[in-house]
Amino acid sequence: MSNQPSDPLAAVEALLAAVDDGHVLPPPAERVRLREAAGLTQAAVAQALGVRLPSVQAWEDGRAEPKPERLQAYRRLLDGLAQRYPVPSASPAAPPAPASVQPAAAAPPVGPSRSAHTHATPRRATAPRRPGAPKAAAAGTAEQGADRRFANGPLLVIDADGDRQATGYGVGGLIMEVPAKSIAALVEWALSEAHLGASRLHGSGKDADPLLVLTPAACARYGLPVALSESERLASRLPEGHKVIEQLDRANWQLTRRGFGPWARIYRPAEGRQRQCVQLCIPSWNALDTRTWAHSAELQPAELARVLGVYASRVMTPRGSAAVTGLELMTALNPPTRASEPDTEGKRHKQHRPGSLGEHPMDCAPCEAPDGHPLLAGLPRFHQRGPAEMLFEEAYDWARELTDAECMQRHLVGLDVNLAFGAAANGAFVGLATPPVHVTDPDFDPAVPGAWLVDLSHVDLSRVLVGKQWRQLQGALLPSPFTPTGKRPAGPAWYATPTVAYAVELGYDVAPLEAWVREESGRFLDGWYKRLRDAYIDTMADLGVGEKQSPPEFLKSMDDYKGNDPHAAIVLDAIKSTVKGGIGKLRERARGGGWRPGQAWPALARPTWRPDIRAAVISRARINMHRKMLNLAAATGRYPVAVLSDCAVYAADGPSPLDVLPYDADGKTVPGSFRLGVSPGMVKHEGTQTTLWAEDVREKHGQVLNLARYIKTGEVTATDDAE
């Protein structure tokens, strides 16, 4: 036989040596058993080993083995678990190993080749069914090792046909009969019989609550209005005396403080570790905002279940708007507490989990507080704080007039950074669970997160360090990296650590006057970024855009890429909104409800109300943008004519990004500058307009408008002009 070893004895010795060196892993089934016995999810293992979730899935399926740099760490994990959870003795009457911590079955990927699954005939159950049991199960659910508690996935879209029985549509083509005839009964059924939910994303976290999405027909069946009245829409909830709320009250169900609105959360106090909570989503009440979810509220129930199911499997089960979900994801991946070691009586207690934000809210520094915060209650009425009183880290909104040379070029080309705020969150050191400490005349330390009062007006962009060399540039053609408007600072101002560190990187000394620093720090957002990055990359792959493409191939695949699968395009937009909205929620402002300046508002009671973390991420995003523009200018002499957040516009002789970015025959471009590609931090083509268009805009509106705002469509409205 051709596959026989030439020296069997040597091959056996090599195999024994591999066993002795720890290079041989237990079989895939044992890997799964050990992880599940320890209560670990695949996501937790992936995060600990620094790999993507599909890698761990492949190891446990036997489709792949760890690379050498991960092999020893994975082997150490399995050996440690094997010592703690030895193989139980065989017994015919022994129950199966608990599956309470297995990951929920993933929703099928969204992609052009899979779009037929939406209307595929589901597999029919052959065993007799009790009322409320699934009529059809997703093929392969059991084979995927789904958590038995959540065998039917994270969510159901409930539809109804008049007075006939309601029907639930789940992931993978699942269809279920829904016997409940009231909202209270529906919630009870979802928790007791429906087997809905999803496993925790971290071993110390919480399982995801079931999500029920009610179509207009389902709303009518359960006594809810199909659409909110004007007063209800303004309050974003049903009035307290509504019959459905009274019905829930009689059944001992409670609503959270936000009431019965588009994203109602219905619960009973937990009994021990057992949560009793169901999340409702009502699209006809604008739960699925068109700015995030496009036209998803108009989809058929099975299609909507597919879209939400993919989002739930790649991000998490929605808990509200994309912004709310983005914030909840931070806590789900980095829980504030964990179980302690057993005490003398063998009991475990809740304790702070290192690396998290903790479970208690924290006051910000006065300079980090937004207007109206209780810390500022002593300021005079109508006082306007300036840069020396307030930390103002925001994204770019800068533009300038074209030079004569740029006017001679034919096109303006927009470059947009993929998932810019997500890329900025990756690797960011932020304060954790300790309050800020005030210091005067501090020495600047780029490793310490905080806010620094420092004068950066002396930084001259005409002469800066690029790499390790001083370079002469046309500084007037670049925005300042220290202000959102791009104007050079006029004196001392408050800045986040990344902004001050960039001044040092450019070759200039800094002398802070005072600072608010956080002594405990860590990379709190790394796991959050990695999960959203993977969700983004996987969804782009469903749309036909891959990571390994050359710049020309990438630009070609991006032509009308959202048309390849409109459902995947909805998921993609939701993922991007989750990133941007999650960062924005870290400094949620007061909204209505009779609030007055100086009073606390509900968001301040969250441990995740952290304006300092938001400022650090936005600072890094703006600095990353400036660094790319600076490196491109130093290498090619090209300067941006407008920058809006993560989009930069350049004049060029041709309409393509390849006419702006210099690529050599090997596919390499200017180090540290813009690179075309799908990964976060790389750029895509935002749009192209002619130079004549830009001149026409300037003449019509009589001012320097930010062309980056209009580069995609070329349309400038009267409203834009007024703003």
Query: Rounded to the nearest 10 degrees, how much is the dihedral formed by the CA atoms of 250, 253, 254, 255?
Result: -100
Buried b (16+ CB within 10 A) or exposed e, 363-381: ebbbbbbbebbebbeeeee
> Which fold, 8-84?
434 Repressor (Amino-terminal Domain) (1.10.260)
**What are the start-end ranges of the E strands in 78-207?**
123-124, 134-137, 155-159, 166-169, 175-178
Closest CA to 472 of 633, 306, 667: 633
> Cα–Cα distances in Å, from 658 out to 553, 580, 651, 676?
12, 28, 12, 9
Mean pLDDT of the region 168-197: 95
Structure tokens at 137: 């199960």
User: Do the beta carbons of residue 623 and residue 517 sit within 8 Å?
Assistant: no
CA distance linking residue 489 with residue 386, whole number of Å: 12
The residue with tokens 């195999």 is 15
Statement: residue 82 has pLDDT above 70: yes
pLDDT digits (tens, 9 = 90+) for 549-562: 999 999 999 998 99
Statement: residue 702 has pLDDT above 90: no
The sign of the torsion formed by the CA atoms of 41, 44, 48, 52 equals: positive
Q: Which of 67-81, 167-181, 536-550 has the lowest mean pLDDT?
A: 67-81
Closest CA to 555 of 659, 713, 685: 685
Range(s) of the chain covered by CATH 1.10.260:
8-84
pLDDT digits (tens, 9 = 90+) for 441-469: 999 999 999 999 999 999 999 999 998 89
Supply the DSSP symbol for 723.
-
- Tell me what the pLDDT averaged over the chain comes to: 87
- For the chain, the residue count is 723
Mean pLDDT of the region 12-32: 70
Statement: residue 251 has pLDDT above 70: yes
State residue 163's pLDDT score. 67
State residue 20's pLDDT score. 58
> 214: how many CB neighbours lie within 10 A of its CB?
28
Could you tell me the end-to-end alpha-carbon distance of the chain, in angstroms, rounded to an integer?
79
Q: Any residues with CB less than 8 A from the CB of 383 and at least 6 apart, and which?
A: none
Residues β-bridged to residue 438: 516
- pTM for the model stands at 0.81
pLDDT confidence band for 106 (50 / 70 / 90): very low
Statement: residue 623 has pLDDT above 80: yes
Could you write out the three-class secondary structure of 629-698? HHHHHHHHCCCCCEEECCEEEEEECCCCHHHCCCCCCCCCCCCCCCCECCCCCCEEEEEEEEHHHHHHHH
Q: Which of 196-205, 360-369, 526-535, 709-718 has the lowest mean pLDDT?
A: 709-718
Statement: residue 662 has pLDDT above 50: yes
User: Do the beta carbons of residue 379 and residue 605 sit within 8 Å?
Assistant: no
Cα 623 to chain center, whole Å?
21
Supply the DSSP symbol for 90.
P
Q: Which of 1-15, 87-101, 281-295, 299-313 has the lowest mean pLDDT?
A: 87-101
Q: Any residues with CB less than 8 A from the CB of 715 and at least 6 apart, and which?
A: none
CA distance linking residue 337 with residue 524, whole number of Å: 14
